[in-house]
Structures are given as C-alpha cells and as structure tokens.
Structure 1
Amino acid sequence: MSAVSTESLNKVEQVLAAHAGQNPTDLAAELFAIVDVIDTNGGFRRGLTDPSRQAAQRAGIARSVLGGKISDNALAIVTAAAEARWSAERDLADALEKTAVSAVALSAEKRGGIDALEQTVNELLTFINTVDASAKAQAALADTRASKEALKKLAVSLGGKVSSEEGRLLLERVGTVARGTTAARLANEFVEIIVKRQNKWIARVVTARPLTAGQTAKLQSSLNKTYGKELKLDITVDSTLLGGLRVQVGDEVIDGTLSTRLADLSRAFA
C-alpha cells in the first residue's frame, strides 16, 4: 500500500478499536463478507472509492447499500473506510480484510492475551507448512469444482489440531477466498498482521548485566502497570551497553542505557 492508503488503513483500525463489540470474531466474519461484496460489485467499489465524490457522499453510498444488512459496528468501519482516501481502487477492500484479521487478533487477545495470539499464529503456520510441503494439498485448495464447505473443512484440517475460534475462522477464509493469491500466501499475510499485534505484548529487554529474580519481578510489575496488560519479557544481555537497560514494546522504546546517554552527551558537545 502507498503512504496515503496506509494512513487510511490506520484510521480504519482506530475505528475498529472503538467498535469491536463483545465478539470481534462475529465482526470479522461480517467484514470478510463485505470484502466479498466489494470485490464482486465494481459499481459499488467505485462508488466507495471515487475521489471526485465528497467523503460524506461515499459514506452515504455505504449506508444506502449496507444499512440494515450488517451490524452498526461493521457499518461504522465500512463508512470510515469510504470516507478515507485510497491510492488504488482495490486498497479499500484490502484494508477491510486486514481490519477483519485485526478483529480476529483482538478476539484472541481478549480471550487469552499473548498465549491466545500465539495459538492462532501456530495454527496458521501449521497450515502454511503443510500446504507448502504437499502438491496434493495445493491442488485440492485450488480446485474450483469443490464446494465452499468442503474447502473450509480441508483448510481447517490442514491446520492440524485447530481448537481456537480465531484460527478456524481465518483458515476457513484462506481456504475459500484467496483474492488473487494462494491460500498459503494469504495465510502468511494474516500471520504478519497478528505478529505485529503480538509484538505489542512482548517487552524486549536488553540489559548490560543479568537481572536477578527480584529485579526481573520488579521490572515485570512496573511494565505491566505502565502498559495495562500482562507482558511477556524477552531479556537479553549486552555488555556493550555499559549500564542500565533498554525496553521495547511494539514500536515504543524506553532507553535508559549508559551507552546511549554517553552518545547523547557526545552529540551535544559535537
């Protein structure tokens, strides 16, 4: 996606955060269905993305076509997408698909935090590895004569022992609607989206010397309180830091290392 479309995607995902509802997997299923409608209806797609129309006009088209047929939460997300600007006509549907996957990840987070996210990722990875290693599985998934139900069952079976609602929904999706790519590649795209959210639950700590059990517990408690959730600590030791530690959670970095402070001082006197 271009910078314009990426910025619009970020705005749509902000709307998701406010309209996820009690069961984000239900919302995700709705968004996937809406993507299918947009993909198969060129007039509707152009109406939602036409740059010559005002944002309110594009949102009005979304409401007139989908109002009363989908939930209020789904409609809020689609109208936000219609109001946004997209560099390419397809980008809006792509963004809604990514938002649907984010809704699935949000469901996993609510259910079991990072452990549930890892479970969903592992189910998708099992599917990818199985399909990549089997020409027979690839051919079966690409068989246009197979029914949707048959393809859903096949995709789930290729994911191994799939026990999560989130994993099942995503595998059923990649098994039936590849949207111009292969099932395994689409599953990998879904993995990348979930891992990006997963990283927000991992505190990657680099410290100048090993932490004691007491220091680790204190750091864990402090970070959990700061971020409002149970983070997983990933601690590595780097003696070149001289002292202190550096913590990264998602894109946010807290750097309290001596080497960084010395570098800052050197730049100040340069």
Structure 2
Amino acid sequence: MAGVSTESLKKVEAVLTAQRAVSPDYLAKELFAVVDVLDADGGLRRALTDPSRSEQAREGIVQKVFRGKVSESALNVFVAAATARWSAERDLADALEHVAVDATAQAAEVRAGANTLETVLDELLTFINTLNSSAQAQIALTDDRALPEAKKKLALTLAGSPATAEGQLLIERVSVAPRGMTPARLAEKFVEIIVKRQKRSVARVVSARPLTDAHIEKLRRGLSQAYGQELKLDITVDPQVIGGLKVQVGDEILDGTVQSRLNELNRSIVA
C-alpha cells in the first residue's frame, strides 16, 4: 500500500484498537470472512471503493449487506474501511486482512501474554522454512484440485502441529486463502504485520551449524543494537554455507559465510 491507502489503514487500525472489549479471536475470524466475501464479489468490492460514491452511500451498502451477519465490532471495523479512500480496489480487502492478523495477535496477547505471541511467530516461521525446503509440499498447497481440509492438515503438519489457536488460525488461512500469493509469502506477510505491531523487524539468519541458546541471545542483542531496534531472529541451518553466518534484515544482507568467500574467489578466477 502507498499514499492514501496507508493513511486509511491507520484509521482502520485505530477502530480495531477501540474494539478491545470484544473477543479478538472471534473478531479476526469474522474479518477474514469479510475478506473472502470481497474477494469473491467484484461488484460489491467495486461499489465500496468507488470514489464517486459518498461515505454515507458506502456505509449504507455495508449496513444493508452485513448487518446481522457479523458482530457489531466487525461491522464497525468494516464501515471504517469501506468509508475510507483507497489507492487501488484490492487495498480495501488487504486492509481488512491486515487488521484481522492484528486481531489475531491481540487474541494471543489477551489470552496468555507476549510469550504466546512469540510462539505464534515461531510457528509461522517454522511453517515458512519447512515449506520452502519442500518442492513437493509447495506443489500440494498450490494445487487447485486439493480439498481445503487436506491443505489445512498438510500446512499444520509443516508447522509442527501448532500449540496455539492463533498460530493454527493463521496457518490454516494461508493454506486455503493465499489471495494470489504463495502460502509461504502470505505467511511472511503475516509475520511482518505482527513484528511491525511490536515495533520490531525480522532478521533472517543462516548458519552452517545449530547455534546454542547463548549464541542466539548474543547475536540477537548485537544485531538489535546495530539496527537500533528489537529484532526477531529467524534461524535456519544450512551446512552448504560451510561456516560463518548470513544475516538478512529487510533488503540488507550481511554475508560472512565461507561459501560466500569461496564464490567470490571462484568469480575472480573465472574473470
């Protein structure tokens, strides 16, 4: 999102925050359901993003179609989104998906605190890394002939059978409603939404061998200090890097692996 859509998303997030008294896990499921309706109904989506319609007219459409079918809290969030301005038609559903993930994160915090939300992140990252390492699983999860329940079952297995209800909700979601993305990329987007909410970023670390807890904590502190913000480490082990670490934060890559140096040497020889 960019420009006017970014500002509109902030307004919708503020409305979501005002609904704290309700059950955030139920609210998240309702908002995901609204996203599905918008994705399936192009006429409704266009009507709610038509800049020539007044805010009152767009709110009227939401009230007519959805009142009595979703909770008052979900309706409030949807009205805020429908009466906002969006740079692109898809941005409306994208914003509702974003706040649905936010509501899921809130549910984890309300139920058991920050540690549970950290577990949700770990479950998403496990799913992403396991899926990315299996071409067969990637094909299975993007096969249009596969039944949704079969996709959900496979996705949960890839995630190591999530212990949290929130992790299960998000992983099932990416397996059956990737919305034009790959399941792994949508899961990455969900991780980005959650860590941004925590005012953090993800540091993807590739190591030649498993790191001890002490090494992981030392690395986390050092990287967080270097980048001036708390980082969530996503660590994978790849013996092919031979030695050292490869770290990626956003678009920046710090590669100190032996494999990287060997590749540079080979390139210099060939040249």
TM-score class, shorter-chain normalisation, is 0.7 to 0.9
Partner of 1:3: 3
| Partner Cα separation in structure 2 for residue 141 and residue 155 of structure 1 | 8
Question: Which protein shows a greater Rg?
Answer: 1
Q: Following TM superposition, by how much is the alpha carbon of 1:102 offset from its aligned partner in structure 2, in angstroms?
A: 0.3
Identity %: 57
Aligned equivalents of 1:87, 1:183: Cα separation in 2: 25
Contact (CA 8 Å) 1:148, 1:176: kept in 2 or not?
A: yes
The letter for the 1-side match of 2:7 is E
Paired residue type of 1:96: L
Q: 1:153 to 1:235 in 2, by over 3 A?
A: closer
Distance (whole Å) between structure 2 residues aligned to residue 22 and residue 153 of structure 1: 29
Asked if residue 163 in structure 1 is aligned to residue 163 in structure 2, the reply is: yes
Shift of 1:248: 6.8
- Listed as ranges, the gaps of 5+ residues in structure 2 are 201-219, 223-227, 232-271
Question: Deviations along 1:110-151, whole A, 9 cap, x unmatched?
Answer: 123321111000000000000000001101101111111111
Which residue of structure 2 aligns with residue 111 of structure 1? 111
Q: After superposition, where does 1:215-254 map in structure 2 within 5 Å?
A: none
CA 129–249 in structure 1, closer or farther in 2 if over 3 Å, else same: closer
- 1:195 corresponds to: 195
1:184 aligns with 2:184: yes
Alpha carbons of structure 1 residues 104 and 118: separation in structure 2 relative to 1, 3 Å: same
1:235 deviates by 6.8
* 1:52 corresponds to: 52
Rounded to whole Å, the distance in 2 between the matches of 1:80 and 1:48 is 11
- What is the root-mean-square deviation in Å for CA atoms of aligned residues? 1.8
Q: Which residue of 2 aligns with 1:147?
A: 147
State the AA in 1 paired with 2:118: E
Normalised to the residue count of structure 1, the TM-score between the two structures is 0.73
* Aligned ranges 1:255-270 → 2 under 5 Å: none
Q: CA deviation at 1:30?
A: 0.8
User: So what's the TM-score if we normalise by structure 2?
Assistant: 0.73
Partner AA of 1:198 in structure 2: Q
Partner Cα distance (2:35, 2:54) in 1: 22
Write the distance in 1 (CA, Å) between the matches of 2:119 and 2:197: 13
What letter corresponds to residue 38 of structure 2 in structure 1?
I
Q: What is residue 88 of structure 1 aligned with on the other side?
A: 88
The count of corresponding residues between Structure 1 and Structure 2 is 207
Is the Cα–Cα contact under 8 Å of residues 22 and 73 in structure 2 kept in the other structure?
A: no
Instruction: Tell whether the 8 Å contact from 1:20 to 1:103 is kept in structure 2 after alignment.
Output: no
- SS of residue in 1 equivalent to 2:57: helix
